[in-house]
């Protein structure tokens, strides 16, 4: 095959350190746009980005030219620096150390996109910890509860 092709969609989820409510409405839309720009810089296509005060969901198409860990590192590093400059109350902002990524098949992209768009609605019924455990359990991820939260 003379041409390489890749179609891999990733649902990325991570929180603020200790799930502190530091993602303010004041800059939330700009944060999402900034993160979309970071994804584009690493040759990944952003599909959906949304957050609530303590965590974020990102759906993107992973480029065949970069590793997933590099993409996550760039998104977290660059956005953390950007957030710290947005308001005095977030000068000490930090993302949690870890993250979770889940594969999404092409048929599931619209479902995940809608889920991400409705974050505020979902978190009226379920906490981030409950949501995160549900994702881990749904995907059959083995995890040790003592190392999941920081």
Cα gap 128→106, rounded to integer Å: 26
Q: What percent of the chain shows pLDDT beyond 70?
A: 99
Confidence band for 48, pLDDT divided at 50, 70 and 90: very high
What is the pTM (predicted TM-score) of this model?
A: 0.92
Sign of CA dihedral 16, 17, 21, 22: negative
- Superfamily designation of domain 8-148: Transposase IS200-like (3.30.70.1290)
Region 117-141 average pLDDT: 86
Closest alpha carbon to 11 in 131, 150, 145: 131
- Sorted by where each begins, the domain ranges of the chain are 8-148
pLDDT for 141 equals 85
Across the beta sheet with 55-62, what order do the strands follow? Answer: 45-52, 55-62, 8-15, 100-104
75/130: higher pLDDT? 75
pLDDT at 22 over 80: yes
pLDDT of residue 27: 96
Average pLDDT over residues 37-50: 98
């Amino acid at each position: 095959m003379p041409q390489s092709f890749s179609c891999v969609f990733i649902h990325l989820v991570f929180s603020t350190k200790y799930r502190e409510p530091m993602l303010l409405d004041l800059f939330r839309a700009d944060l999402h746009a900034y993160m979309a720009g970071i994804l584009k810089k690493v040759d990944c296509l952003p599909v959906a980005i949304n957050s609530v005060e303590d965590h974020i969901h990102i759906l993107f198409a992973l480029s065949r030219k970069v590793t997933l860990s590099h993409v996550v590192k760039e998104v977290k590093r660059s956005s953390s620096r950007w957030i710290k400059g947005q308001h005095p109350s977030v000068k000490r902002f930090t993302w949690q150390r870890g993250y979770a990524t889940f594969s999404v098949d092409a048929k599931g992209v619209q479902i995940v996109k809608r889920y991400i768009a409705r974050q505020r609605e979902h978190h009226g019924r379920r906490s981030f910890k409950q949501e995160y455990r549900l994702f881990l359990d749904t995907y059959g991820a083995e995890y040790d509860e003592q190392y999941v939260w920081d």
